[in-house]
C-alpha cells in the first residue's frame, strides 16, 4: 500500500479505540499505528502487535512515521468488515510479543464470521492466526458424512455446478455480444 | 453455521486441506467432481498405500476353507494407519472407528507392525476403483503393495491405465486367484503388466489358459509364480532377479542344465540368490551339470539365506557348485511326488 492511498482515505480519524495491552511496557517508547476497516472505525495498534501481519509489517517497516503522522494516516482496509478487523486487532494485541500456543483459546469463536475472518487473515498475512482459523474450518467436518460435509461447506452437486457453468457461459456470451454491438455502434 | 468453502482462494483451500485427515479428504472428494479436483490441488502426498482388491470371502475348495485376504485399502500417514474397509450394511457407510492393537499390519518396509494404532472407515465399496481414485486424488507416487485379481479386465485396465500413465512405482504387485478359481486368458493382462513399473516383487497366484506363451518382460527383485507353466527357458535365462520361485513349472532337466551352465559363466546372473523350481518334468533321465538326479549331499549341511526380517529360505544337504569367478552356489534336486530344484547363491 502506498502513502498516496493512505492519504486518499476519506475517513477523518475517529477517536481511536485502544485495545488492551498484555505485554509489559518496553524500555523504548512503543510506536503505534492506526488501521480501519469498511466501517471507518479507527483502531490504534502497537507496532509490536502489528508484527503478526506480514502485510502491515512490510508497509510500516520503512515509514518512520511520527505519532501524529501515523494518526493522520490510518491504514484503510476497505475490503474488511469493521467487526472482523476488530477481532483481528484483538488477537494481535493478545499475542503481542508472545509465542502462540498450539491450541489457541483466544481464537474468535463466532462461527458465522469464520469465512470473512479467514479471508481477512489471509489478506493481512497473519500466518499463525490463519492456521488456527483453517484448523477450525477443517474441524467443522471431522467425522461427518459426505452429505453432511456438502451442507456444512455448501458444496454444490455436479448438476448444480454444471447448471452454474452453463449459466456463466450464457452470460459471458451475452456480454460479449453486447460489447460487439456497442463497438459496432461506436464505429458507425 | 455453514461456510462456502469453495469460494476460498486456492491457497486457502490448500491450507484447510492440509489440516484434514485422509478420511475427510476422501469424503470431500466424493461430494462432487469439483471437490475432487480441489482436493487434488492439495498436491502430491508421500503417503504409502497398500491395497487388497481381491475377495474377502472364505471359499471352500475340496471341503477346505481357503481364506482370502481382507478386501481393504491401507494408507500409512505420519505413523498412523488409515484403513478403508467395505461396510457390511448401508447404515454403516462412512462410520469411522479408532483402534489400538487389535490386529497386525505390514509396515511399508515389509516388516510386521505389531498391534499398532489405526483408524478405519466403512466405505460403500472397496475395490480397484476406490484404490485408483485415492491414487489420483492424493497424487500418491508409490504403491507399497497392490493385490488384485483378473476377475474383470475393464477394472484391471482402468487401474493399469492410472499406474502406467502416471508411472507410479509399484513395489509389490500380486495377482490373486479369482474367487471362482477360473482359468484366465491373460494375454491382454500381461501386456499391461509389462508396462507397469513393478520394482520389488511380482507374485502370481492365477492359473492362465494354456493357449498362449505369456511373456514377462521385466524382472523385479522377486518373482513368485504359482502356475508357472508359461515361464519358459528364455525368460529364465533373461531374468535378473534376486529371488525366483516357479511352482507347477514345465521346465525340463535339459533346460535347467542349460541355465546352470550359463550361471557358471563369469558375470552372469549377478543378482541371483535363490531359485526354486517345482516341475513334474524333472526326472532322472537327463544329467544336470553332469550329475544324474536326484542331486543332494547326504550330510546335514544346511545353507540358508535371509530376505529381510523373519523371511529366509534354506536347503538341507545341498551340493556345492562354483562359478568360473569363484562364487559358490548350493544346489539340490529332488525327485519323487513333487520334483524340484533348489539353488542358493
**pLDDT tens per residue across all 345 residues of chain B:** 789 999 999 999 999 999 999 999 999 999 999 999 999 988 788 899 999 866 444 444 444 444 445 688 999 998 889 999 989 999 999 999 999 877 777 777 666 677 788 999 999 988 888 999 999 999 999 999 999 988 889 999 999 999 999 999 999 999 988 877 788 888 899 999 999 999 999 999 999 988 777 999 999 999 999 999 999 999 999 999 999 999 999 999 999 999 999 999 999 999 999 999 999 999 999 999 999 999 999 888 999 999 877 788 999 999 999 999 999 999 999 999 999 999 999
Give the closest-approach CA distance of B86 to chain A in angstroms: 15
Could you tell me if A16 and A37 lie in one domain?
yes
The answer to whether position A126 is within a domain reads: yes
Distance CA A130, CA A139 (A): 14
Per the CB < 8 A criterion, the answer to whether B149 and B179 are in contact is yes
Q: How many domains does chain A have?
A: 2
Provide long-range contacts, Cβ within 8 A and 24+ apart, for B193-199.
B193/B160, B194/B218, B195/B160, B195/B164, B196/B160, B196/B163, B196/B164, B196/B170, B197/B163, B197/B164, B197/B167, B197/B168, B197/B169, B197/B170, B198/B170, B198/B171, B198/B172, B198/B173, B199/B169, B199/B170, B199/B171
Integer Cα distance of A181 and A173 in angstroms: 12
List the single residue in B5, B93, B96 with the smallest CB-CB distance to A155: B5
What local confidence, expressed as pLDDT, does residue A3 receive?
A: 33
> Would you call A127 an interface residue with chain B, using a CB distance cutoff of 8 Å?
no
Whether A73 and A123 share a structural domain: yes
Mutation target among A135, A149, A157 for the B interface, most CBs of B within 10 A: A149
Average pLDDT of chain A, as a whole number: 81
Range of A172's domain? 156-187
- What pLDDT, on a 0 to 100 scale, did the predictor assign at position A69? 84
Return the pLDDT at B116.
80
Residues A85 and A139 occupy one common structural domain: yes
Counting residues of chain B whose pLDDT is more than 70, the rounded percentage is 93
* Residue A151 domain-assigned (yes or no): no
Interface test with B, best of A138, A156, A164 (most B CBs within 10 A): A138
A131-162 pLDDT, tens per residue? 989 999 999 999 999 999 999 999 999 999 99
With bands split at pLDDT 50, 70 and 90, how would you rate the model's confidence at A2?
very low
Query: Which of residues 96 through 115 in chain A touch B, CB cutoff 8 A?
Result: 111-112, 114-115
pLDDT confidence bin for A64, thresholds 50/70/90: confident
Tens-place pLDDT, residues B135-161: 999 999 999 999 998 888 999 999 999
Q: Do B34 and A112 touch (CB under 8 A)?
A: no
Q: Do B5 and A158 touch (CB under 8 A)?
A: no
Out of A135, A154, A158, name the one closest to residue B33 (CB).
Answer: A158
> What is residue B54's predicted lDDT score, i.e. its pLDDT?
63
Q: Taking residues A16-21, report their average pLDDT.
A: 53
Q: How many CB atoms lie within 10 A of CB B328?
A: 11
Q: A174 and A119: one domain?
A: no
Name the minimum distance, in Å, from the CA of B123 to any CA of chain A: 11
The residue in chain B having the minimum alpha-carbon distance to the alpha carbon of residue A161 is B34
Whether B31 and chain A come into contact, CB under 8 Å, resolves to yes
CA nearest to B12, candidates A185, A133, A177, A73? A133
Q: Torsion angle, CA of B173/B178/B179/B182, rounded to 10 degrees?
A: -160
Retrieve residue B331's grid coordinates.
544346489
pLDDT digits (tens, 9 = 90+) for A30-59: 788 899 999 999 999 998 898 899 998 888
pTM metric for this prediction = 0.81
In a mutational test of the B interface, the residue from A113, A141, A147, A168 whose CB has the highest number of chain B CBs within 10 Å is A141
Q: Which three cell numbers stand for residue A187?
A: 464505429
Question: Which alpha helices (DSSP H) does chain B contain, by range?
Answer: 10-18, 22-29, 33-41, 128-138, 153-165, 187-193, 233-238, 253-264
Q: Is A14 on the interface with B (CB under 8 A)?
A: no
Phi and psi angles of residue B336, each rounded to the nearest 5 degrees, phi first: 95, -150
- Cβ atoms B79, B104 nearer than 8 A: no
Cα distance from N-terminal residue to C-terminal residue, chain B: 67
Share of chain A above pLDDT 70, in %: 79
If you measure CA to CA, which chain A residue comes closest to B24?
A142
Question: With contact defined as beta carbons under 8 Å apart, do A133 and A118 qualify?
Answer: yes
Query: CA-CA distances (angstroms) from residue B164 to B168, B172, B193, B318?
Result: 7, 15, 9, 42
Residue B33, chain A, CB below 8 Å: the answer is: yes
Provide the b/e sequence for B235-260 (b: ≥16 CB within 10 Å). Answer: bbeebebbbbbbbbbbbbbebbbbbb
pLDDT at A102: 66
Regarding predicted confidence, which is higher, A180 or B335? B335
Instruction: Establish, for the pair of chains A and B, how many residue pairs have beta carbons separated by less than 8 Å.
Output: 87
Same domain membership, residue A106 and residue A17: yes
Q: For residue A186, what is its C-alpha cell? A: 461506436
> A127-137: per-residue pLDDT in tens?
989 998 999 99
Query: Are residue A55 and residue A90 in the same domain, yes or no?
Result: yes
- Pair A52, A133 in one domain: yes
Q: φ and ψ at B22, to 5 degrees? A: -60, -35
A101 shares a domain with A13: yes
More confident of the two residues A30 and A115: A115
Q: Do B32 and A122 touch (CB under 8 A)?
A: no
B245 pairs with which residues across the strands?
B224, B276
If one compares B286 and A101, the residue with the highest pLDDT of the two is B286
* 8 Å CB contact of A146 and B30: yes
Amino acid at each position: 500500500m502506498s502513502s498516496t492511498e493512505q492519504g486518499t482515505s476519506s475517513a477523518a480519524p475517529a477517536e481511536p479505540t485502544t485495545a488492551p495491552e498484555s505485554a509489559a511496557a518496553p524500555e523504548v517508547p512503543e510506536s503505534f499505528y492506526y488501521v480501519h476497516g469498511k466501517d471507518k472505525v479507527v483502531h490504534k495498534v502497537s507496532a509490536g502487535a502489528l508484527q503478526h501481519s506480514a502485510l502491515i509489517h512490510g508497509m510500516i517497516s520503512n515509514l518512520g512515521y511520527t505519532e501524529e503522522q501515523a494518526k493522520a494516516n490510518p491504514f484503510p482496509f476497505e475490503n474488511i468488515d469493521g467487526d472482523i478487523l476488530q477481532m483481528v486487532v484483538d488477537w494481535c494485541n493478545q499475542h503481542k510479543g508472545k509465542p502462540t500456543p498450539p491450541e489457541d483459546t483466544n481464537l474468535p469463536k463466532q462461527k458465522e464470521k469464520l469465512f470473512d475472518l479467514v479471508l481477512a487473515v489471509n489478506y493481512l498475512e497473519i500466518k499463525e492466526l490463519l492456521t488456527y482459523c483453517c484448523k477450525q474450518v477443517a474441524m467443522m467436518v471431522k467425522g461427518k458424512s459426505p452429505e453432511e460435509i456438502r451442507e456444512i461447506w455448501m458444496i454444490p452437486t455436479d448438476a448444480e455446478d454444471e447448471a452454474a457453468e452453463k449459466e456463466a457461459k450464457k452470460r459471458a456470451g451475452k456480454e460479449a455480444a453486447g460489447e460487439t454491438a456497442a463497438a459496432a455502434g461506436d464505429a458507425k | 453455521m455453514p461456510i462456502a468453502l469453495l469460494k476460498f482462494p486456492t491457497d486457502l483451500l490448500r491450507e484447510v486441506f492440509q489440516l484434514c485427515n485422509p478420511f475427510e479428504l476422501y469424503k470431500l472428494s466424493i461430494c462432487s467432481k469439483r471437490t475432487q479436483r480441489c482436493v487434488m490441488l492439495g498436491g502430491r502426498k508421500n503417503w504409502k498405500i497398500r491395497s487388497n482388491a481381491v475377495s474377502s470371502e472364505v471359499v471352500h475348495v475340496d471341503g477346505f476353507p481357503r481364506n482370502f485376504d481382507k478386501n481393504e485399502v491401507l494408507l500409512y500417514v505420519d505413523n498412523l494407519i488409515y484403513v478403508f474397509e467395505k461396510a457390511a450394511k448401508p447404515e454403516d457407510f462412512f462410520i469411522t472407528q479408532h483402534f489400538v492393537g487389535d490386529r497386525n499390519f505390514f509396515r511399508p518396509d515389509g516388516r510386521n507392525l505389531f498391534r499398532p494404532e489405526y483408524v478405519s472407515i466403512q466405505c460403500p465399496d472397496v475395490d480397484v476403483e476406490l484404490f485408483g481414485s485415492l491414487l489420483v486424488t492424493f497424487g500418491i507416487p508409490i504403491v507399497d503393495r497392490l493385490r488384485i485379481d483378473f476377475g474383470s479386465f475393464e477394472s484391471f485396465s482402468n487401474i493399469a491405465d492410472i499406474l502406467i500413465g502416471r508411472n507410479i512405482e509399484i513395489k509389490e504387485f500380486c495377482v490373486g486367484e479369482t474367487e471362482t478359481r477360473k482359468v484366465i486368458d491373460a494375454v491382454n493382462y500381461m501386456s499391461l503388466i509389462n508396462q507397469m513399473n513393478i520394482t520389488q516383487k511380482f507374485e502370481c497366484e492365477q492359473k492362465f489358459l494354456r493357449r498362449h506363451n505369456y511373456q514377462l518382460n521385466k524382472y523385479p527383485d522377486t518373482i513368485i509364480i504359482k502356475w508357472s507353466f508359461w515361464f519358459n527357458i528364455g525368460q529364465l535365462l533373461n531374468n535378473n532377479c534376486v529371488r525366483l520361485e516357479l511352482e507347477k513349472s514345465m521346465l525340463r532337466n535339459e533346460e535347467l542344465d542349460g541355465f546352470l551352465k550359463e550361471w557358471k559363466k563369469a558375470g552372469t546372473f549377478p543378482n541371483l540368490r535363490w531359485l526354486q523350481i517345482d516341475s513334474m518334468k524333472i526326472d532322472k533321465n537327463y544329467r544336470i551339470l553332469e550329475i544324474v538326479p536326484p542331486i543332494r549331499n547326504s550330510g546335514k549341511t544346511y545353507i540358508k539365506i535371509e530376505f529381510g526380517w523373519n523371511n529366509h529360505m534354506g536347503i538341507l544337504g545341498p551340493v556345492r557348485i562354483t562359478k568360473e569367478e569363484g562364487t559358490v552356489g548350493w544346489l539340490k534336486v529332488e525327485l519323487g511326488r513333487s520334483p524340484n530344484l533348489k539353488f542358493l547363491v
